[in-house]
């Protein structure tokens, strides 16, 4: 049987809950739909507020062919195939079919470019859905050809209406004896997302044995949902828990767990740039000088993912995550800067030693700025011992090489140069 969220999907604007500023009586989008004069548009709003549903209602109302793509799973080839199908469905002066692209912000520039010609020529009327600000995520050439409509989060009243309507109208729930004493927990778990609200309601009802009475209270909802429902809230606790699990799996050198948590975040709709930034940080903090190439790989991953877009981006991210997880680990750079910052806070603004100060003017030279500085490249191995720290802390050792092949080489070099600080 289809999920409750699908069974309760509105088919007309009269059944649509929320967004009165757009689809209420006399509102701008309602008027456009009623008149049949629909232009390409971007629907921008948080998850579960009706972007996909609204696109389907428009298609049903106008009786125009409807093609749907998800930017997570589609590439340039899929876009071109959809456009070719749309061309074959054009008849005389009739408006072109509707092309709905969910999460359009995940399309790369080249993928968005492939839409331009079809939109300009009227081969398709584009309806893009995005949870991200289209000003930053949609190329300007495409954005200029679309009207942006902002969908607002569902209100408490909207969410309660959805619950009550499902209990009264759904063929399955209407056959049960359901009483809602408290709504708070259901609404909290929904996060303002109608789809998650319906999923939570269905799980709560199904958890009650047989066909007996179902009394929905906050405590009952909490007990059932925490045991049965896997949620991923990009703006809430799960967002940070998943990211934490991902990074700790990389730090713990477990590529299997790293890829698993990566998949969980991707499937949960996490922003790929957020994931890539976390990998860049991990490359510096957890791998560091044990494998300096890790930082290069992570940074290249960030750039490549933005250039390619989904679905192929997931392969690049997987490669980077596995590389980081299987790299030798060292947090020596992280510890060094932490110790250095602690020393700065402890000792305050110590003066820069005169011999390593900059001396661009005659007066500064007369004040002995730069006097006695030894130019390292004039000496054997490009090194000569001199003090670079303020006298008060000149013997401080902030960087400690760790036990891995790369840093063991570094330690030997430092021992050769700085015997007092890194003596044998």
- In the chain (424 residues long), the average pLDDT of successive 10-residue segments reads 84 87 86 84 88 89 84 78 80 74 84 83 86 84 88 89 90 86 85 84 81 83 68 54 87 89 83 90 93 95 87 92 94 91 87 84 81 87 87 87 88 85 72
Tokens of 288: 């560091």
Report how far Cα 2 is from the mean position of its chain's Cα atoms: 29
Helix (H) or strand (E) holding 130: strand 125-130
Cα first-last separation, the chain: 73
pLDDT at position 290 is 92
* Alpha-carbon span 259 to 319, nearest angstrom: 9
User: pTM of whole model > 0.85?
Assistant: no
pLDDT at position 32 is 87
CB 127 within 8 A of CB 44: no
Can you give the residue ranges of every domain in the chain?
18-150, 156-228, 237-326, 344-417
CB 111 within 8 A of CB 138: no
Residues 6+ apart with CB under 8 A from 266: 72, 272, 275, 314, 317
Give the single-character DSSP code of 423.
Answer: -
- C-alpha pair distances (Å), 404 with each of 9, 168, 358, 418: 57, 65, 37, 20
CATH ID of 344-417, from 2.60.120.260, 1.10.3710.10, 3.20.20.70, 1.10.1030.10: 1.10.3710.10
Question: SS3 of 278, please?
Answer: helix
* Dihedral (CA of 222, 226, 232, 235) sign: positive
* Alpha-carbon span 418 to 378, nearest angstrom: 18
CB atoms under 10 Å from CB of 241, counted, come to: 13
Domain 156-228 has CATH 1.10.8.60: yes
Q: At the fourth CATH level, which superfamily is domain 18-150? A: P-loop containing nucleotide triphosphate hydrolases (3.40.50.300)
* Alpha-carbon span 380 to 369, nearest angstrom: 25
Residues 6+ apart with CB under 8 A from 86: 65, 67, 96, 97, 99, 118, 123, 124
pLDDT at position 399 is 87
* Alpha-carbon span 393 to 335, nearest angstrom: 18
* Alpha-carbon span 62 to 272, nearest angstrom: 35
Report how far Cα 250 is from the mean position of its chain's Cα atoms: 18
* CATH topology for the 237-326 domain: Zinc Finger, Delta Prime; domain 3 (1.20.272)
212-218 own/partner pairs: CB under 8 Å, 24+ apart: 212/177, 213/177, 213/178, 213/179, 214/176, 214/177, 214/178, 214/179, 215/179, 215/181, 216/178, 216/179, 216/180, 216/181, 216/182, 216/186, 217/181, 217/182, 217/185, 218/182, 218/184, 218/185
- C-alpha pair distances (Å), 45 with each of 52, 66, 131, 149, 241: 11, 21, 5, 9, 24
Give the single-character DSSP code of 63.
Answer: T
* Dihedral (CA of 229, 230, 235, 241) sign: positive
pLDDT at position 229 is 46
Angle at 355 between CA 353 and CA 343, to 5 degrees: 25
């Amino acid at each position: 049987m289809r999920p409750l969220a699908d069974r309760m999907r509105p088919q007309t604007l009269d059944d649509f809950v929320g967004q009165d500023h757009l689809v209420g009586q006399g509102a701008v989008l309602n008027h456009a739909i009623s008149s049949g004069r629909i232009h390409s548009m971007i629907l921008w709003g948080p998850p579960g507020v009706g972007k996909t549903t609204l696109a389907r209602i428009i298609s049903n109302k106008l009786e125009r062919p409807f093609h749907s793509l998800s930017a997570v799973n589609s590439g340039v080839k899929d876009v071109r195939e959809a456009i070719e199908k749309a061309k074959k469905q054009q008849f005389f002066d009739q408006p072109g079919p509707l092309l709905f692209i969910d999460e359009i912000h995940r399309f790369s520039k080249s993928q968005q470019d492939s839409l331009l010609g079809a939109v300009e020529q009227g081969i398709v009327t584009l309806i893009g859905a995005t949870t991200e600000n289209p000003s930053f995520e949609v190329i300007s050439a495409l954005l200029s050809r679309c009207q942006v409509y902002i969908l607002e989060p569902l209100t408490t009243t909207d969410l309660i209406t959805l619950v009550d309507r499902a209990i009264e109208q759904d063929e399955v729930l209407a056959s049960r004896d359901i009483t809602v004493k408290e709504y708070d927990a259901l609404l909290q778990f929904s996060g303002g997302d109608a789809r998650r609200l319906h999923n939570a309601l269905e799980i709560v009802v199904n958890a009650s044995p047989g066909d007996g009475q179902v009394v929905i209270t906050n405590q009952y909802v909490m007990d059932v949902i925490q045991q049965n429902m896997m949620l991923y809230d990009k703006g809430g606790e799960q967002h940070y828990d998943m990211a934490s699990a991902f990074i700790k799996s990389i730090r713990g050198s477990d590529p299997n767990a790293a890829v698993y948590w990566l998949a969980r975040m991707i499937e949960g709709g996490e922003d790929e740039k957020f994931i890539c930034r976390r990998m860049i940080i991990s490359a510096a903090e957890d791998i560091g000088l044990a494998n300096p190439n890790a930082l290069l790989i992570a940074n290249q991953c960030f750039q490549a993912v933005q250039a390619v877009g989904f679905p192929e981006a997931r392969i690049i991210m997987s490669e980077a995550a596995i590389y980081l997880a299987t790299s030798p680990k060292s947090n020596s750079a992280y510890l060094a800067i932490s110790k250095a910052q602690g020393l700065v806070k402890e000792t305050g603004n110590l003066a820069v030693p005169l011999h390593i100060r900059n001396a661009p003017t005659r007066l500064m030279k007369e004040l002995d700025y730069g006097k006695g500085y030894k130019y390292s490249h004039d000496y054997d191995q490009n090194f000569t011992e001199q003090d670079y720290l303020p006298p008060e802390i000149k013997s401080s050792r902030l960087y400690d090489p760790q036990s891995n092949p790369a840093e063991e080489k570094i330690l030997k070099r430092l021992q050769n140069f700085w015997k007092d600080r890194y003596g044998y």
